[in-house]
């Protein structure tokens, strides 16, 4: 039995909470994973996991072993990385997950520039509207939006801020009028972006107090780019992340409404596992984003703050 491999499999099973999820992440069969854990228990003469048809649970011995195994595997990985120079030479497959809109509008163009700087790195980008399980799904870095990151063993690197702005097509406003206060929105068709990142409500801060706006049943969609297209077609007034709104305003399809109100402020984070010897492809990607992403966000913000883009 390869004790190190068995230890890695056990740690992955403990993190994933099931043999099947661990097998999927490791690209093993479920039977292989189960066999390796059983062989490790036989080798140690100790039960590490309590198994049932519905769930797995660590035994007391398993909890102690898991903590030591993590440290041992980290030391092995650090030693290998130091010897191989992986923390010095950016190369190999870089697996990045991002919120969809952020990935389309901002990260994809930056990925091309990063690739030109580091041609030995092959960037594999996955986009979705959720925060994935970084360890289980095998991502190196997750780019996400949040007010605050939850406490975890992961590292979060701050990359900048975004907010949402209110927009509409010029033709819609010409026909229905331009709202002058948040209360005026009750007389308009307001489109609803249903997104777990931004929430499904509009809340304005007036005189230091947050005032939510209740929207009627109109049109709703869960992707900001689709919402921008609907608003450009004249369906109504929408609330868009600033980097999406700026693109639509730039091409003349939308103008900003109630420009002194910004909602849904979020921070952009790069989230990755904590390691003393961080792989160079991860560290260079994060450093590149720290340099370039704030510049891109500032360009969009300057455009949105230009009175020429207001209704």
CATH 1.10.10.10 domain span(s) along the chain = 3-84
According to DSSP H, which parts of the chain are helical? Answer: 3-16, 19-26, 30-44, 60-84, 100-102, 108-117, 134-137, 170-176, 224-232, 242-250, 280-304
Tokens coding 233: 């077609």
Please state the rounded mean pLDDT for residues 164-179: 96
pLDDT score at 275: 63
Pairing between β-strand 192-193 and β-strand 220-221 as defined by DSSP bridges? parallel
Q: Are 163 and 264 in contact (CB under 8 A)?
A: yes
Band of residue 151 on the pLDDT scale cut at 50, 70, 90: low
Q: Are 189 and 236 in contact (CB under 8 A)?
A: yes
**Residues 173, 178, 181, 186: is their CA dihedral positive or negative?**
negative
* pTM attached to this predicted model: 0.70
Q: Which residues of 237-260 are buried (b: 16+ CB within 10 A; e: fewer)?
A: bbbbbbbbbbbbbeeebbbbbbbe
pLDDT score at 85: 64
Tokens coding 97: 């997950």
CATH code given to domain 3-84: 1.10.10.10
CATH code given to domain 163-264+302-309: 3.40.190.10
Give the phi and the psi of residue 197 in degrees, each rounded to 5. -80, -45
Q: Tens digits of per-residue pLDDT, 72-110?
A: 998 888 777 766 666 678 888 999 999 888 999 999 999
Q: Are 292 and 111 in contact (CB under 8 A)?
A: no
Q: Are 273 and 139 in contact (CB under 8 A)?
A: no
Band of residue 150 on the pLDDT scale cut at 50, 70, 90: low
Distance CA 250, CA 14 (A): 49
CATH 3.40.190.10 domain span(s) along the chain = 92-160+266-301, 163-264+302-309
pLDDT score at 88: 73
Please state the rounded mean pLDDT for residues 111-139: 88
Q: Tokens 């102690």 — which residue?
A: 64
Q: Tens digits of per-residue pLDDT, 259-295?
A: 999 898 899 999 998 666 688 899 999 999 999 999 9
pLDDT score at 87: 63
DSSP lists the bridge partners of residue 240 as 165
Give the phi and the psi of residue 280 in degrees, each rounded to 5. -60, -30
| Residue 148 clears pLDDT 90, i.e. is over it | no
Q: At what angle do helices 224-232 and 242-250 cross, to 10 degrees?
A: 40
Report the SS3 class of residue 178: coil
Please state the rounded mean pLDDT for residues 21-26: 89
Tokens coding 252: 């003349």
Q: Tokens 């990142």 — which residue?
A: 197
CATH code given to domain 92-160+266-301: 3.40.190.10
């Amino acid at each position: 039995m390869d004790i190190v491999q068995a230890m890695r499999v056990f740690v992955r099973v403990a993190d994933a909470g099931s043999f099947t999820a661990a097998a999927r992440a490791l690209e093993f069969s479920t039977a292989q994973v189960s066999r390796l854990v059983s062989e490790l228990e036989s080798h140690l003469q100790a039960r590490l996991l309590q198994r049932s048809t519905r769930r797995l649970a660590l035994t007391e011995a398993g909890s102690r072993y898991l903590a030591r195994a993590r440290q041992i595997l980290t030391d092995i990985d650090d030693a290998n990385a130091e010897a191989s120079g992986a923390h010095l030479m950016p190369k190999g497959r870089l697996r990045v997950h991002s919120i969809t809109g952020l990935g389309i509008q901002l990260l994809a163009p930056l990925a091309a520039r990063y690739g030109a700087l580091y041609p030995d790195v092959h960037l594999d980008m996955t986009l979705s509207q959720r925060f994935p399980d970084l360890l289980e799904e095998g991502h190196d870095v997750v780019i996400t939006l949040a007010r605050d990151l939850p406490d975890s063993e992961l590292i979060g690197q701050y990359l900048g801020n975004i907010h949402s702005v209110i927009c509409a097509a010029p033709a819609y406003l010409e026909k229905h009028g331009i709202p002058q206060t948040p209360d005026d929105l009750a007389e308009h068709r307001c489109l609803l972006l249903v997104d777990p990142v931004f929430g499904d409500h509009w809340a304005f801060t007036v005189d230091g107090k947050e005032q939510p706006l209740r929207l009627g049943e109109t049109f709703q969609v869960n992707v900001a780019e689709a919402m921008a297209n609907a608003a450009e077609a004249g369906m109504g007034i929408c609330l868009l992340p600033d980097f999406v709104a700026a693109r639509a305003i730039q091409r003349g399809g939308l103008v900003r409404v109630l420009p002194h109100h910004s909602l849904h402020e979020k921070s952009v984070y790069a989230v990755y596992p904590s390691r003393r010897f961080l792989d160079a492809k991860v560290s260079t990607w994060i450093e590149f984003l720290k340099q370039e992403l704030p510049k891109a966000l500032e360009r969009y913000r300057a455009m949105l703050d230009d009175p020429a883009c207001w209704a």
